[in-house]
Structure 1
């Protein structure tokens, strides 16, 4: 598998690369879609995990391979897309939300994460640590980051 990651800053691109992406692109670069198409050639992208569908979904659909899939894990509003981009590729758009997971699915997810960390094929990048006493500061930081993006 070849992993392609995008970010909007040099720091973000560095994190994406540290996380294991083979190719990284700045999604603020007006030519990044063409650059991804150059990397994937005529095949396209098999899976997109989309955190900002309200901005990127239209572009995602043009990058997909035949039978490709977009998993939407984040969106902040509506977007207009061209259905022909899904039809011509026989692709799928899947909505993914943790709150809809069953207890069994959550247990399986947690087990997979723990196994990945134990076996070292999953290594989270820790940007900052907080003591339990300062847990509320961590929450404020997360909320601020979400609001900014």
Structure 2
């Protein structure tokens, strides 16, 4: 049983507009369709979506290489922002009418989306709906991998590949907030300059410079304490050469392939840690714990206006195909967002 907010229409529609491709393919499969309205199950909120972030896993799902986990909607979209219009059993009715952003397992490319209450964060006045819709996926990902798995500490250095992506820009800004020296790689001088503006200490054009040599140069030969890697493949042994003794290497994607040659003697001799994670399949309990930690440690900076996502572009929901074309061009800097009518 759900409760409907007084600040929204007395009754909710039976159907909604969503992007829900029934076959894999290019961006052209992302067309608006009519779907049944989701419900707020036990422990869930029903959110009238105002904005939904676009992420690389959405592209992989569209291509048919990253299917939704069991029980997740087939509608893509891993992060949303909007207004709570109904609450499920066990959820405080005081959440009705609240502005929230949420990390979800799918369903974001739609007018309505259900979200576990534990994975929602109230949107402070400092954030617009568009900005809030661009926050959860990158924030949860960077926090769990850089500050969790790589356990970075103030004063340490971090190398981030894809420094002007949504993940990269969030890593730069979080690193700056928590006292890290952030070194990034990017594919053009323009992107490198923008990364410096956002807060990176050093930016390396990987097309014209050897990032291994540059990391050694800017660290005085010491290397970095941690690496956040989205590239994989032949980058991994090069990354290992960039690590300081006792360094930590965290893999979150494998854009250049899932296999790598690892110099084990080097890993052993310098006591390196190689780890990684994927966020989408993790349990709701884990994600709720992350949300609690973010609410306690990061969200005060958000409320103070000290942390906002870098927005590259905004597309209407019915132009989701163009949003994916923009992402696949790799020309974007920061987040691509869908605005939902």
TM-score (norm 1): 0.81
Say if 2:230 is the partner of 1:51.
yes
Q: 1:105 to 1:14 in 2, by over 3 A?
A: farther
Residue segments in structure 2 that go unaligned for 5+ positions in a row: 1-179, 331-341
Pick aligned residue for 1:87 from 268, 275, 278: 268
Q: Distance in 2 between matches of 1:92 and 1:101?
A: 22
Pick aligned residue for 1:32 from 203, 211, 214: 211
Max radius of gyration: which structure?
2
Say if 2:305 is the partner of 1:126.
no
Q: 1:138 to 1:30 in 2, by over 3 A?
A: closer
Q: Distance in 2 between matches of 1:101 and 1:131?
A: 30
RMSD of equivalent CA atoms: 2.4
Indicate conservation of the 8 Å contact 2:234/2:261, yes or no.
Answer: no
Matches within 5 A, 1:94-133: 94-110=275-291, 112=294, 115=299, 116-133=301-318
Q: Distance in 1 between matches of 2:208 and 2:312?
A: 25
Q: Distance in 2 between matches of 1:70 and 1:91?
A: 8
The answer to which of 11-20 and 44-53 deviates more is: 11-20
Match of residue 186 from structure 2: 7
Report the CA distance between 1:5 and its aligned residue: 0.7
Report the CA distance between 1:105 and its aligned residue: 3.0
After superposition, the C-alpha distances for 1:100-137 in whole angstroms (9 at most, x for unaligned) are 32213323444528715323343211110112332343
Q: Secondary structure at the match of 1:5?
A: strand
Q: 1:77 to 1:16 in 2, by over 3 A?
A: same
Say if 2:320 is the partner of 1:141.
no
Across the two proteins, how many residue pairs are aligned to each other? 145
After superposition, the C-alpha distances for 1:45-90 in whole angstroms (9 at most, x for unaligned) are 0110001011311111011112110110111231212112211210
Q: 1:51 to 1:132 in 2, by over 3 A?
A: same
Report the CA distance between 1:13 and its aligned residue: 1.4
Indicate the structure whose relative CO is greater, using CA pairs within 8 Å and at least 6 residues apart: 2
Match of residue 75 from structure 2: none
Q: 1:64 to 1:121 in 2, by over 3 A?
A: farther
Q: Distance in 2 between matches of 1:134 and 1:22?
A: 36
Q: Secondary structure at the match of 2:310?
A: coil
TM-score (norm 2): 0.39
Residue segments in structure 1 that go unaligned for 5+ positions in a row: none
